[in-house]
Structure 1
Amino acid sequence: MQSYPEPARRLVAEMAAAAAADPARAVAFQGAPGANSHLAALGHFPDGLPLPCFSFEDALEAVREGRAGHAIIPIENSLHGRVADIHFLLPESGLAIVDEHFLPIEPCLLGRAGVPVTQAISHPQALGQSRQWLRARGIRPVPYADTAAAAALIAEQGEAGAAAIAPRFAAGLYGLDVLAESIADAPHNMTRFTILAREARVPAAGVPVMTSLTFEVKNIPAALYKALGGFATNGVNMTKLESYQRGGSFAATEFYADIEGMPGDPAVDRAIDELRFHTKWVRLLGSYPQARKRGL
């Protein structure tokens, strides 16, 4: 908690105490109170108790240790792409993805009215989503741990010329003025969150289902082509495929994928069996209801 600016620490202490009294209802999220992840937790769990955590690892650990029933973690943004390190952290967490949540992102510039802004402090994702807006106004982006903590820092220090990019929600929590609204570079700014729990769940029958998984291809020619062939021949729609390197060897590539359907569906089972045959390993991260129909 000591890593947060002082205005946020008071709120974190209050929220942590409430979560500790009823951990089953606690929803761990990364960031200070007022962050977009806080808004996502409130939106997905109206009766939940949001639990602020300083890092993604802290949020996942809170669920593993039973201090929270769920964690809500951003995985990708429509403007700025995937959230850094998440593809490593989710498989290593030992938790299961049990749901997803989409949150429209409406970043605001928060600070003190009447003071010209020369620098904007925020999480790198938020800075990237408003990169063109900042550049057009000659405002220098300054990376910080998260959006709402940046707002708390502005409230604490009041440095001349500094403002934060954060949700409007954070302005009310930290007594800041909204200097500009909706400063994202495109109107379709949306973040997808995954909801994680200690145990996997079987989605209700009859609802569209997603399954997330990771795998590592063999270091041979056409490895990825062969590994993915089973999805094509069995008619399983893959809605997302991203590669990433681990360990700095540049010798083997791991992939994160989302598919429609779930294990137990004959076509999905056949596709995953073929995937296992052509890869070093496959790790299923969870099956969960689709929050938004893909391809629309």
Structure 2
Amino acid sequence: MADRIAFQGALGAYSHEACAEARPDFDPLPCDTFEDVVAAVREGRAALAMLPVENSTYGRVADIHRLLPESGLHIVGEAFLRVRIALMGLPGARLEDIARVRAHLVLIPQARAFLHARGIRAEAAADSAGAAAELLARGDPAEGVLASRLAAETHGLQVLAEDIEDHGHNTTRFLVMAPAPAAPEAGAGPVKTTFVFRVRNIPAALYKAMGGFATNGVNMTKLESYMIDGSFQATQFYADIEGHPADPPVARALEELGYFTDHLAVLGVYPADPDHFDGGHARERAGREAPRP
């Protein structure tokens, strides 16, 4: 029996699609909540967890940054999924017969132009993949669902239109998490390090804490803050950087960070997705460092 990878949502959800693309040798384990995903791994019912952390259109996934440090799991990989929206109906249905569609609330605005042009009314559903399963049960030929192609294949529906999103840039970043760390060797390839920290209560602590990354040339790709325990006085920061803690520049930057923090925890050191690594900074550095003619 193959190992299982847990995700939040029903079979056919975009998180399921991320699992299928990033870890095709693992069997998917659908869970109701993010907390259930973490529990499935901690209890040994799944070997890995697939958790969404941010979306290029909607930003940070709510509450996920609070969950990660408390999960007891370690980040062992990342995955990016381009969100492609398909309109599906019952087998034998025609696009011109669809009068209304159901989908998760965040999907509907992304296909607004397509729906408006065809006079199709949209209704919010708790879950797009779940709406696909419900459509098959209801058997209404005038109803459709907006979801992934995988949802149609999973629930026996017919894809009537594909790639109907208004814009082609919507992408979700996922983190793959496991009970134990699995850091790659330093120098083995592009690596990211994710950590959380709290700065000491001294003037300009955050500015000083970040200075080590700038002076050592370490690219910080994400820095976000959130309150702890509902207190305006307790703020934790979540950060992603490019590089391995064993790399001298990263080691120096983390050492300097430690002087200005009263809490620092590394959540994972993991291979970076090569298609989304660096964002052009390497090319910029190469251009600056190239010899002048």
Partner AA of 1:212 in structure 2: T
> Post-superposition shift, 1:254?
2.1
Across the aligned residues of Structure 1 and Structure 2, the Cα RMSD in angstroms comes to: 2.5
**Among candidates 133, 137, 159, match of residue 178 of structure 1:** 159
Aligned to 2:278: 294
Q: What secondary structure, in the 3-state scheme, does the structure 1 residue paired with 2:244 have?
A: coil
Aligned 8 A contact 1:30 1:53 in 2:
yes
* Contact 2:101/2:146 (8 A) holds in 1: no
1:58 aligns with 2:39: no
1:79–1:129 Cα contact (<8 Å) kept:
no
Task: Return the TM-score normalized by structure 2.
Answer: 0.82
CA displacement at 1:106 relative to structure 2: 0.6
Alpha-carbon deviation of 1:243? 2.2
Q: Report the equivalent of 1:223.
A: 205
| Conserved? CA contact 1:227–1:279, under 8 Å | yes
Which residue of 2 is the match for residue 259 of structure 1? Answer: 241
Consecutive unaligned residues in structure 2, runs of 5 or more: 281-293
Q: Cα deviations across residues 200-240 of structure 1 (Å, max 9, x unaligned)? A: 01214420100011122345553321221111111111011
User: Cα gap change, 1:249/1:49 in structure 2, threshold over 3 Å: closer, same or farther?
Assistant: same
Residue pair 2:132, 2:152 contacting (<8 A) in 1 also: yes
1:2-53 deviation digits (Å, cap 9, x = unpaired)? xxxxxxxxxxxxxxxxxxx55xx11111111111111221212222111111
Q: 2 CA distance for matches of 1:238 and 1:33?
A: 35
C-alpha contact 1:95 1:196 (8 A) present in aligned 2: yes
SS in 2 for 1:71: strand
The equivalent of 2:52 in structure 1 is 74
The residue number in structure 2 matching 1:8 is none
The CA distance in 2 between the partners of 1:139 and 1:36, in whole Å, is 23
Question: What is the CA-CA distance between 1:261 and the residue it aligns to?
Answer: 1.0
| Matching residue of 2:107 | 126
Match of residue 165 from structure 1 = 146
Specify which of 164, 183, 201 is matched with residue 202 of structure 1: 183
Following superposition of structure 1 onto structure 2, how do residues 242-253 of structure 1 map, counting pairs within 5 Å?
242-253=224-235
- Cα separation, partners in 2 of 1:140 and 1:219, compared to 1, 3 Å: farther
Q: CA deviation at 1:266?
A: 2.2
Are residues 118 and 97 of structure 1, via their aligned partners in 2, closer, same or farther at CA, if it must alter by over 3 Å?
A: same
Deviations 1:223-266 (A, max 9, x none): 32122111111111101112223333323332211101122222
State how far apart, in whole Å, the 1-side matches of 2:113 and 2:158 are.
Answer: 22
Higher radius of gyration, 1 or 2: 2
CA contact (8 A) 1:219 1:251 kept: no
After superposing the two structures, state which structure 1 stretch, 38-47 or 211-220, moved more: 211-220
| Aligned-partner residue type, residue 250 of structure 2 | V
Amino acid at match of 1:157: R
Taking structure 1 as reference, are residues 231 and 198 closer, same or farther at Cα in structure 2, changes over 3 Å only?
A: same
Would you say the 8 A contact 2:98–2:144 is kept in 1? no
Query: Could you tell me which residue of structure 2 aligns to residue 109 of structure 1?
Result: 87
One-letter amino acid of the counterpart of residue 171, structure 1: A
177-186 or 152-161: bigger deviation: 152-161
**1:83–1:125 contact (8 Å) kept in structure 2:** no
For the 8 Å contact 1:121–1:162, the answer to whether it is kept is: no
Instruction: For residue 251 of structure 1, give the secondary structure of its aligned residue in structure 2.
Output: strand
Offset of 1:198 from its aligned partner?
0.6
Cα pair distance change 1:157/1:278, threshold 3 Å: farther
Q: State the identity as a percent.
A: 51
Tell me the TM-score normalised to structure 1 length: 0.82
Secondary structure at the aligned position of 2:131 is classed as helix
CA distance in 2, matches of 1:98, 1:274: 25
